[in-house]
């Protein structure tokens, strides 16, 4: 009988003990805001999201309290005091891990916020055939050395982090390192110790924040971080109620029942925005048991969701609303609905779509008992 597979223990080290002199920010760059949160939080969240634990964050000991604030709420994080040079910070974290050694370790610059699970998986996969693996990208510009001329690009790579290693090998390599004083990266330490380092495909989004201008997210970074949420809601059609859809009062023989004005379209859209920003759901923020929302106009719910998304660093990209009913006909109101939603969201009308469909007289909406709405929202990071 074969023995059960032993799960691989994988740790991450996030290096955040540098001074960030070249970035010249008022605080070391890893604490500076980037896409709505401290720069270092992006990488730590990415490791946590990929299920990596423990995550050791090397930071200056006088900045531990600030680091705890910057990383509040993320599970499995331990702070370690970094050293004077990058490799001193790596060594301190490796030594801390040694007493309960992981099988593999990923060593990453906090200054590279665009880390994805895909890159992490490529690196881990490569460690099945080599003791080390690093993400690289091709050099696309001409290279020129003064007094020498153009340098051939063949065989050259741009090297990124995380750099991944089998733990015992990289710990031994760092312990053996005798110079030159500063290693370029951990791959250099590994190669000096005779370890093979495999190359895997890197990611443009992983570029390092080095200079002041790099703290402004590039179009590439912005484009790779949109987020999407969906919402769905149903309300019953009853006699004696006003009918509100997408913030517009509609002439109809019946209206929707509910605690607020029962605008089922704005409710679904509110949930879509909250979902995109991972800020909970409409029931959590506006419970139907709360008398404050009795008869409330639902545009307040949507505006609140937009404010919560902004607080998390996201602005509305575009939204799409599908109203599911046999009657009333939505076409005559569509332009007004789009304009009203655009107004509440404070976006261009081109970013708002309102559609309608029937269920071919099937089900509750087909029998005219109620109206259902599904909505989706895309949010994009707010550029500081
Ligand atoms: N003693 C050090 C030096 C650097 N780092 C970290 O290693 C990464 C390397 O990026 P780099 O741009 O060199 O950061 P700094 O050394 O902070 O930048 P600068 O050289 O401009 O001061 C950064 O996340 C940095 O915080 C570290 O943990 N410990
Ligand atoms: C480790 C590194 O990010 C890999 O590209 C790079 O070597 C760090 O260089 P720096 O001189 O510390 O900015």
pLDDT recorded at residue 231: 98
pLDDT band with cut points at 50, 70 and 90 for residue 217:
low
**Does the beta carbon of 208 sit less than 6 angstroms from any atom of ligand 1?**
yes
Ligand nearest to C-alpha 21? 1
pLDDT band with cut points at 50, 70 and 90 for residue 220:
low
pLDDT band with cut points at 50, 70 and 90 for residue 292:
confident
> Which of the pair, 313 or 54, is modelled with greater confidence?
54
**Does the beta carbon of 27 sit less than 6 angstroms from any atom of ligand 1?**
no
Mean pLDDT for the stretch of residues 69-75? 95
pLDDT recorded at residue 264: 98
Mean pLDDT for the stretch of residues 265-289? 95
25-54 pLDDT, tens digit each:
889 999 998 877 899 999 999 999 999 999
**Does the beta carbon of 162 sit less than 6 angstroms from any atom of ligand 1?**
no
pLDDT band with cut points at 50, 70 and 90 for residue 3:
very low
Ligand nearest to C-alpha 85? 1
Calculate how far, in angstroms, residue 64's C-alpha sits from the geometric centre of ligand 2: 23
According to the annotation, is 116 in a ligand binding site?
Answer: no
Calculate how far, in angstroms, residue 184's C-alpha sits from the geometric centre of ligand 2: 6
Helix/strand/coil percent split, the chain, to 5: 35, 25, 40
According to the annotation, is 286 in a ligand binding site?
Answer: no
Query: Ligand 1: which residue has its CA nearest to atom 9?
Result: 109
Determine the residue of 28, 113, 208 to mutate for testing ligand 2's pocket, defined as the one with the most ligand atoms within 8 A of the Cβ atom: 208
Task: Supply the mean pLDDT for the chain.
Answer: 93
pLDDT recorded at residue 223: 57
What's the ipTM? Answer: 0.95
pLDDT band with cut points at 50, 70 and 90 for residue 221:
low
Q: What angle do CA 113, 116, 117 make, to 5 degrees?
A: 140
According to the annotation, is 42 in a ligand binding site?
Answer: no
Query: What CA–CA distance (Å, rounded) separates 15 from 26?
Result: 19
Mean pLDDT for the stretch of residues 196-203? 97
The domains found in the chain, sorted by start residue, are 10-223 (3.90.550.10), 227-381 (3.30.1330.50)
Mean pLDDT for the stretch of residues 94-100? 97
According to the annotation, is 267 in a ligand binding site?
Answer: yes
pLDDT band with cut points at 50, 70 and 90 for residue 222:
low
Ligand 2 atom with minimal separation from the 109 CA: 3
Q: Report DSSP letters for 73-136, one per residue.
A: T-TTEEEEE--SSHHHHHHHHHHHHHTT--SEEEEEETT-----HHHHHHHHHHTTTSSEEEEE
Q: What angle do CA 235, 241, 243 make, to 5 degrees?
A: 65
According to the annotation, is 234 in a ligand binding site?
Answer: yes
113-167 pLDDT, tens digit each:
999 999 999 999 999 999 999 999 999 999 999 999 999 999 999 999 999 999 9
Query: Ligand 2: which residue has its CA nearest to atom 1?
Result: 185
Handedness of CA 277, 59, 217, 188 (dihedral sign): negative
pLDDT band with cut points at 50, 70 and 90 for residue 1:
very low
Mean pLDDT for the stretch of residues 365-384? 91
Ligand 2 atom with minimal separation from the 22 CA: 13
Ligand nearest to C-alpha 162? 2
DSSP-based three-state secondary structure for 47: helix
Inform me whether the pLDDT recorded for 313 exceeds 90.
Answer: no
Ligand nearest to C-alpha 15? 1
106 near 52, Cβ under 8 Å? yes
**Does the beta carbon of 182 sit less than 6 angstroms from any atom of ligand 1?**
no
Mean pLDDT for the stretch of residues 316-326? 97
């Amino acid at each position: 009988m074969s023995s059960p597979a032993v799960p691989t223990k994988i740790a991450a080290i996030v290096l955040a003990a540098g001074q960030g002199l070249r970035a010249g920010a008022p605080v070391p760059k890893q604490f500076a805001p980037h896409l709505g949160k401290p720069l270092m939080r992006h990488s730590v969240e990415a490791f946590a999201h990929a299920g990596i634990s423990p995550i050791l964050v090397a930071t200056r000991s006088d900045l531990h309290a600030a680091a705890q604030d910057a990383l509040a709420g993320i599970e499995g994080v331990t702070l370690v005091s970094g050293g004077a040079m990058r490799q001193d910070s790596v060594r301190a974290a490796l030594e801390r891990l040694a007493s309960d050694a992981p099988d593999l370790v990923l060593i990453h610059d906090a200054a590279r916020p665009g880390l994805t699970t895909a890159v992490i998986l490529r690196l881990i996969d490569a460690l099945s055939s080599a003791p080390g693996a690093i993400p690289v990208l091709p050099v696309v510009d001409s290279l020129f050395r003064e007094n020498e001329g153009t340098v051939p690009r063949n065989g050259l790579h741009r090297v990124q982090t995380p750099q991944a290693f089998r733990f015992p090998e990289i710990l031994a390599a760092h312990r053996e390192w005798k110079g030159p004083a500063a290693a370029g990266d951990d791959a250099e330490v590994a190669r000096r110790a005779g370890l093979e380092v495999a190359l895997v495909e890197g990611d443009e989004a992983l570029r390092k924040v080095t200079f002041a201008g790099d703290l402004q997210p590039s179009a590439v970074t912005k484009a790779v971080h949109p987020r999407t949420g969906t919402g769905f809601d149903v309300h019953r059609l009853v006699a004696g109620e006003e009918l509100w859809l997408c913030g517009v009062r509609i002439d109809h023989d019946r209206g929707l029942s509910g605690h607020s004005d029962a605008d089922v379209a704005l409710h679904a859209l509110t949930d879509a925005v909250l979902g995109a920003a991972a800020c909970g759901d409409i029931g959590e923020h506006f419970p139907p048991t709360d008398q404050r929302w009795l008869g409330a106009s639902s545009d307040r719910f949507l505006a609140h969701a937009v404010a919560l998304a902004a607080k998390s660093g996201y602005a509305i990209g575009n939204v799409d609303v599908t109203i599911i009913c046999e009657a009333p006909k939505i076409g005559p109101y569509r332009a007004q609905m789009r304009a009203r939603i655009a107004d509440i969201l404070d976006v261009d009308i081109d970013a708002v779509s309102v559609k309608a469909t029937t269920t071919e007289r099937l089900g509750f909406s087909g029998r005219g008992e109620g109206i259902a709405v599904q909505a989706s929202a895309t949010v994009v990071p707010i550029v500081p």
